[in-house]
Chain A
């Protein structure tokens, strides 16, 4: 299995631009998590899905952030418009449903907004 696959690995964009981060889950996993990691705030849960349904999006910082899961294996996290304070590493992670844990993380997308 290739694991959780994220793209792009690095993204540099100008303030105000739209950014889309992509994630492919491990086959058979039904829970999908988006995390953001910064030095100041550590690893923060943004949103998670079970069986394509968003369960908790209370960690999404603002309306500028949105996440979708159009099918069982794929998710996107969109930031529009982006701001310099959004600069962070964004991780996607997945687990089998009901495991109560995050089993596998993707390699992350390092986002820099200038």
Chain B
């Protein structure tokens, strides 16, 4: 089993919709969880960190963590074409491990 798993997509949503990105991880002891955004041809950029069960909101982005289910998600409200990118889930397992990423396309 991979340490950090994501649906590779692609995920396509219309402009203004909610995009939901999901991630599961294998290590129950993990305490720190992150979402990175990577535009095509660019480097990953940290957009959200979450450490406690529940929701964390930052503008149009909401990260959700459920440690019992070993599940972390990212919701993007009012999706914009500029949100089109690959979203990488990362988990601190002693060092930082990344999922394969989900490619999101927001269609105008």
Contact = CB atoms under 8 A, between A and B. Distances in A.
Interface of A: 33, 35, 42-43, 45, 48, 55-56, 91, 100-108
14 contacts: A42-B98, A43-B88, A43-B98, A48-B95, A100-B92, A101-B32, A101-B34, A101-B46, A102-B44, A102-B46, A102-B90, A102-B96, A105-B44, A108-B43
Interface of B: 31-32, 34, 42-46, 49, 88, 90, 92, 94-101
Contacts, number: 45
Contact of A101 (B42, B45, B49, B100): B49
Contacts of A105: 43-45
A103 B46 contact: yes
Closest 8 A/B residue pairs (Cβ): A105-B43, A43-B98, A42-B100, A100-B32, A100-B92, A102-B96, A105-B44, A108-B43
